[in-house]
Amino acid sequence: MFDVVPPTLQTNVTSSITYASTAPLAEAGTVDAYFDLNDTALAPFAAQEELPPPDQVIELNVFFATMDDGINRAMFNNVTYNSPLVPSILTELTMGNLSSDVAVYGPQSFILEHNQVFEIRLFNWDAGKHPFHLHGHKFQVVYKSFDVTSDDPIINPPRPTIGESSSPSPKSNPLRRDTIQVPATGAVYLRVVADNPGAWFFHCHIDWHLSAGLAVTLLEAPIQAQSVISPPPSLASQCLAQGLPASGNAAGHFSTTDFQGLTVGPFPQKLGWLPKGIGAMAGCVLSAVFGMLAVGWYEIGTWGSDEEIEEEERVRIQGIIDRGGGIKKRAWNRVVKVIRKE
């Protein structure tokens, strides 16, 4: 699904960008190589100082793998995303004080305290680049590595630790985006102030990667959200029209532990000696042992010489003839003819 390029897919599209209908079109050309732009060198027109070190750090590691159901899925921190039965914004607004308990939102959810600075530290361990998009905010890109495995400080600048700023001297006007492309084995640190209560999605902007599970939900200031957000009744009615709950936890229950009906998984494969593998290997070994024993038994068995076997067969057939004729007699005559020829 992710590694095979269909032969009919057009991977290169050439177009011309002009700012006036009367401007001449540039001649098409080719380049030998294309290098990603270091977009952190860009400065927004409306300047904003770098935010202070984060109060909360969310580390996300990107992986793709074949899961225990045989399907290739995308994951943050080895957990693939599944949509909850109840939209997270409705859970946030209907669970009262329990809305501050991250468990009620199901897997891949994070609670953000109101007006605190949080930072997403994302590491892309996939072989391809991915554009990641945050709803509800524009983040500051305070750090970017093009390859965290490189020893080149230009490609892989020293990373700040938790509690540190992005550099010894904070940037006066760091890049601000709502989407950032992260190269293979690259990393970004995205800093935001949680000043917009609600439920916000952070996900890969390649749609089929989102469908495969590359997403998390950020639940921002749940208690404050209940006092400032009033969704239209049509939001809940659309859920009910589909036979889905419109209140409660991720599974539609007013509980922090009852999630019956919520889809979870699939999960990463468990490697090593598992019961099915052990059983298969044991069966193969036993089959081989019994096969060798059968060959040995046949080899050392007391079968007698060809003459002895022939005599036993003659006696057996003679006994049959003595008990009757017909077909049995004809069988004996054939045996006699064979013997006489010899």
Q: What is the pLDDT of residues 191-247, one digit of tens each?
A: 999 999 999 999 999 999 999 999 999 999 999 999 999 999 999 999 999 999 999
For residue 209, what are the contacts with CB-CB under 8 A and spacing of at least 6?
A: 2, 74, 130
SS3 of 281, please? Answer: helix
Average pLDDT over residues 270-293: 86
**Among positive and negative, which fits the CA dihedral 226, 228, 234, 235?**
negative
109: which residues sit within 8 A by CB, 6+ positions away? 88, 102, 216, 217, 218, 219
Q: Please report, to the nearest 10 degrees, the dihedral formed by the alpha carbons of residues 288, 289, 291, 296 taken in order.
A: 140
pLDDT in tens, 292-301: 888 877 767 6
- Is the pTM higher than 0.85? The answer reads no
**With 60 as the cut, is the pLDDT of residue 326 above it?**
no
Residue 35 pLDDT greater than 70, yes or no: yes
Mean pLDDT, rounded, for 173-188: 96
Question: Does pLDDT of 165 surpass 90?
Answer: no
Q: What is the pLDDT of residue 29?
A: 80
Confidence of residue 1 (pLDDT cuts 50, 70, 90): low
* pLDDT score recorded for residue 164: 53
**Distance between CA atoms of residues 340 and 43, nearest Å:** 109
Residue range 39-241, CATH number: 2.60.40.420
Which residues lie across from 61 on neighbouring strands? Answer: 123
* Neighbouring residues of 257: CB distance < 8 A, sequence distance ≥ 6: 103
310 has pLDDT over 90 = no
Rg (CA), the chain: 36
What average pLDDT does this structure show over 143-165? 84
Strands (E), the chain: 56-66, 72-76, 109-112, 117-124, 130-134, 139-145, 176-177, 179-182, 187-193, 198-204, 215-220
Mean pLDDT of the chain: 88
Taking the mean position of all CA atoms in its chain, how far away is CA 220?
A: 26
| pLDDT tops 90 at residue 184 | yes
pLDDT, tens digit, for every residue of 107-140?
Answer: 999 999 999 999 999 999 999 999 999 999 999 9
For 52-71, write each residue's pLDDT tens digit.
999 999 999 999 999 999 99
pLDDT at 151 over 70: yes
Q: Is the pLDDT of residue 335 over 70?
A: no
Query: Domain ranges in the chain?
Result: 39-241, 306-341
pLDDT: which is higher, 102 or 3: 102
In the prediction, which pLDDT does 92 show? 98
pLDDT digits (tens, 9 = 90+) for 253-276: 999 999 999 999 999 998 877 788
Whether 160 shows a pLDDT value over 80: the answer reads no
Task: Give, as one character, the DSSP assignment of residue 125.
Answer: -
pLDDT at res. 311: 76
Please identify which residue in the block is written with the tokens 């501050």: 100
- Give residue 342's pLDDT: 56
Is it the case that residue 312 has pLDDT exceeding 90?
Answer: no
